[in-house]
Structure 1
Amino acid sequence: MRKMKAAASLKYLLLLFLFLPGKWAIAQQTAQPVSESPNAPFTLKNGDRVVFLGNSLFENDYQYGYLELALTTHFPDRDVTFRNLGWAGDNVYGVARSTITNPPTGYELLMEHLTKTQPTVVFLAFGGIEAQDGEAGLPVFREGLLKLLDKIDQLGAKAILLSPIPVLSTDTIAHKAKNNALLEIYSSAIAKIASERGKRFIDLYKPVQELSKTVAITENGIHLNETGYYYLANILEKSLGLAPRTETVSINISKTGAEASTPAKMMNAGKNAATLTFTMDEKYLPLPQPAGLAEKTTNARVLKVTGLKKGFYKLTTENQEVVTASAKEWENGVLIQQGPSFNQVNEIRHMILKKNDLFFFQYRPPNTTYILGFRSYEQGRHVKGLEEQSFIIKWLESQVALNRAPRSSVYQLTLLK
Structure 2
Amino acid sequence: MSKKIILFFICSTIASGLFSQPVSQFGEGERVVFLGNSITDGGRYHSFIWLYYMTRFPNMNLHILNAGIGGDTAFDMYERLDDDVFSKNPTTLIVTFGMNDSGYQEYNGDDGAGFGEEKYRETHKNFKLLEGRLKKLSGTKIVMMGGSPYDGVAKIDGNTALRGKNDVMQRIVAFQKKSAEENNWQFLDLNAPMTTINQKFQANDPGFTICGLDRIHPENDGHMVMAYLFLKEQGLDSNVVADFEVNACDKSVVRSANCEISNIRGNKGTLSFDYLAYSLPYPLDTIPRGWNARKSQADAMKYIPFMEEMNQEVIKVSGLQKGAYKIFIDNEEIGKWSSTDLNKGVNLAAETKTPQYQQALSIMHLNEVRWEIERNFRDYAWIQFGFFQERGLLFANNGASLEALDKETGNNGWLRMHRDNYARMMHQSFRETRQAEMDMIVSKIYEINQPVKRKITLVKI
The bucket for the TM-score relative to the shorter chain is: 0.7 to 0.9
Match of 2:102, SS state, is helix
- Given that 2:37 and 2:97 are in contact with CA atoms closer than 8 Å, whether structure 1 keeps it comes out as yes
Cα distance in 2 for partners of 1:283, 1:145 equals 42
User: How far did residue 247 of structure 1 move?
Assistant: 5.0
Does residue 346 of structure 2 align to residue 364 of structure 1? no
Cα distance in 1 for partners of 2:427, 2:142 equals 34
User: How far did residue 201 of structure 1 move?
Assistant: 0.3
- Given that 2:282 and 2:360 are in contact with CA atoms closer than 8 Å, whether structure 1 keeps it comes out as yes
Of 338, 345, 356 in structure 2, the residue corresponding to residue 326 of structure 1 is 338
2:398 counterpart residue number: 376
Of 56, 71, 74 in structure 1, the residue corresponding to residue 53 of structure 2 is 71
Cα distance in 2 for partners of 1:61, 1:273 equals 53
Cα distance in 2 for partners of 1:273, 1:259 equals 19
Of 255, 264, 277 in structure 2, the residue corresponding to residue 268 of structure 1 is 264
1:44 counterpart residue number: 27
User: How far did residue 155 of structure 1 move?
Assistant: 4.4
User: How far did residue 346 of structure 1 move?
Assistant: 2.0
Match of 1:131, SS state, is coil
1:217 counterpart residue number: 210
Q: How many residues are paired up? A: 366
Does residue 142 of structure 2 align to residue 159 of structure 1? yes
- Given that 1:265 and 1:279 are in contact with CA atoms closer than 8 Å, whether structure 2 keeps it comes out as yes
1:206 counterpart residue number: 192
2:72 counterpart residue number: 90
User: How far did residue 311 of structure 1 move?
Assistant: 2.2
Match of 2:43, SS state, is helix
Of 73, 78, 86 in structure 2, the residue corresponding to residue 115 of structure 1 is 86
- Given that 2:149 and 2:195 are in contact with CA atoms closer than 8 Å, whether structure 1 keeps it comes out as yes
- Given that 2:271 and 2:459 are in contact with CA atoms closer than 8 Å, whether structure 1 keeps it comes out as yes
Alignment of 1:291-330 (within 5 A): 291=286, 293=299, 295=302, 297-298=307-308, 299-330=311-342
User: How far did residue 197 of structure 1 move?
Assistant: 1.1
User: How far did residue 314 of structure 1 move?
Assistant: 1.6
Alignment of 1:225-236 (within 5 A): 225-236=219-230
Cα distance in 2 for partners of 1:232, 1:278 equals 38
User: How far did residue 306 of structure 1 move?
Assistant: 2.4
Of 121, 124, 130 in structure 1, the residue corresponding to residue 95 of structure 2 is 124
Of 8, 26, 37 in structure 2, the residue corresponding to residue 55 of structure 1 is 37
Q: Which moved further from structure 2: 229-238 or 73-82? A: 73-82
- Given that 2:41 and 2:67 are in contact with CA atoms closer than 8 Å, whether structure 1 keeps it comes out as yes
Task: Give the percent of matched residue pairs that are identical in Structure 1 and Structure 2.
Answer: 22
Counterpart AA for 1:178:
G
Structure 1 residues 322 and 135 mapped into 2: Cα distance closer, same or farther (>3 Å)? farther
Counterpart AA for 1:125:
T
Q: What is the CA deviation profile of residues 46-98 of structure 1, one whole-angstrom value per residue up to 9, with x for unaligned ones? A: 2x21111102332233499312212334443232222111223221112xxxx
Does residue 63 of structure 2 align to residue 81 of structure 1? yes
Please give the TM-score of this superposition, normalised by the length of structure 2.
Answer: 0.69
Query: Which structure 2 residue ranges, 5 or more long, are not aligned?
Result: 1-20, 104-114, 202-207, 287-297, 403-422
Cα distance in 2 for partners of 1:153, 1:239 equals 23
Q: Which has the higher contact order (CA 8 A, sep 6+)?
A: 1
User: How far did residue 204 of structure 1 move?
Assistant: 1.4
Match of 2:147, SS state, is coil
Of 349, 353, 356 in structure 1, the residue corresponding to residue 368 of structure 2 is 353
- Given that 1:170 and 1:176 are in contact with CA atoms closer than 8 Å, whether structure 2 keeps it comes out as no
Cα distance in 1 for partners of 2:344, 2:152 equals 39
Cα distance in 1 for partners of 2:283, 2:316 equals 21
Alignment of 1:238-257 (within 5 A): 238-242=232-236, 244-246=239-241, 248-254=243-249, 256-257=250-251
Cα distance in 2 for partners of 1:211, 1:160 equals 23
User: How far did residue 199 of structure 1 move?
Assistant: 0.6
Cα distance in 1 for partners of 2:46, 2:93 equals 20
Counterpart AA for 1:223:
H
Cα distance in 1 for partners of 2:359, 2:92 equals 27
- Given that 2:93 and 2:142 are in contact with CA atoms closer than 8 Å, whether structure 1 keeps it comes out as yes
Cα distance in 2 for partners of 1:68, 1:236 equals 11
Structure 1 residues 224 and 407 mapped into 2: Cα distance closer, same or farther (>3 Å)? farther
Cα distance in 2 for partners of 1:244, 1:183 equals 32
1:25 counterpart residue number: none
Match of 2:457, SS state, is strand
Cα distance in 1 for partners of 2:433, 2:149 equals 40
Counterpart AA for 2:319:
G
Query: Which structure 1 residue ranges, 5 or more long, are not aligned?
Result: 1-37, 95-105
Of 383, 387, 400 in structure 1, the residue corresponding to residue 432 of structure 2 is 387
Match of 1:324, SS state, is strand
Does residue 172 of structure 2 align to residue 186 of structure 1? yes
Please give the TM-score of this superposition, normalised by the length of structure 1.
Answer: 0.76
